[in-house]
């Protein structure tokens, strides 16, 4: 059986998923221990965005949301780390949704956008494009499909 070497970028993205597990778990705990602190953090992270409003509408279910997201990020991190092709496809779908959503959001607020929001949006667009390009590159596709064909 041939051992497939995990590309460094795949390792980095898997580690970022595991960091997300810690972040989501912390937010889940914070939602139970100090909801007002959590509210301040969420609003502070996205003062112009609609994200905090949507999340805060979840009320008591916010902790459950963050716990589910932690589990999902952990599963995706595991799948990416172990080169499961389903994890590659889920990443591609999520990043594509993020790319389209970011582009639509930027277009929607184009007339009333500040420099920070514009730069952050462009950074998100750029990162999405880089991740999509990377996950479609022959070397990365090969690593995931080689691993999948071994099982």
120-141 per-position pLDDT tens digit: 889 999 999 999 999 999 999 9
Q: Which of 64, 63, 90, 82 is CA-nearest to residue 11?
A: 82
Rounded average pLDDT over 77-93: 97
Of 49-53, 57-61, 106-110, 127-131, highest mean pLDDT: 127-131
Indicate whether 108 belongs to any domain: yes
Which residue reads 């070497």 in tokens? 5
Burial 52-75 (b: 16+ CB within 10 A, else e): beebeeeeeebbeebbebbebbbb
Angle between helices 62-81 and 85-108 (to 10 degrees): 130
pTM (predicted TM-score): 0.83
Average pLDDT, the chain: 88
89-112 per-position pLDDT tens digit: 999 999 999 999 989 988 887 777
Indicate whether 151 belongs to any domain: no
Indicate whether 3 belongs to any domain: no
Q: Which residues contact 76 (CB under 8 A, 6 or more apart)?
A: 17, 87, 90, 91
Indicate whether 2 belongs to any domain: no
pLDDT of residue 118: 81
Q: What is the CA radius of gyration of the chain?
A: 18
Range of the domain at 114: 8-146
User: What is the number of structural domains in the chain?
Assistant: 1
């Amino acid at each position: 059986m041939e051992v497939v070497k995990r590309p460094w970028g795949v390792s980095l993205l898997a580690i970022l998923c595991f960091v997300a597990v810690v972040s989501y778990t912390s937010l889940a705990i914070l939602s139970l221990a100090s909801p007002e602190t959590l509210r301040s953090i969420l609003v502070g992270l996205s003062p112009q965005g609609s994200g905090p409003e949507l999340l805060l509408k979840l009320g008591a279910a916010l902790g459950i949301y963050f716990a589910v997201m932690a589990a999902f990020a952990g599963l995706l991190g595991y799948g990416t780390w172990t080169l499961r092709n389903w994890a590659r496809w889920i990443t591609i779908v999520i990043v594509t949704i993020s790319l389209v959503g970011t582009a639509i959001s930027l277009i929607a607020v184009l007339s009333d956008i500040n420099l920070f929001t514009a730069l952050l949006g462009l950074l998100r667009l750029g990162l999405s494009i880089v991740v999509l390009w990377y996950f479609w590159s022959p070397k990365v596709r090969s690593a995931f499909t080689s691993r999948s064909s071994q099982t």
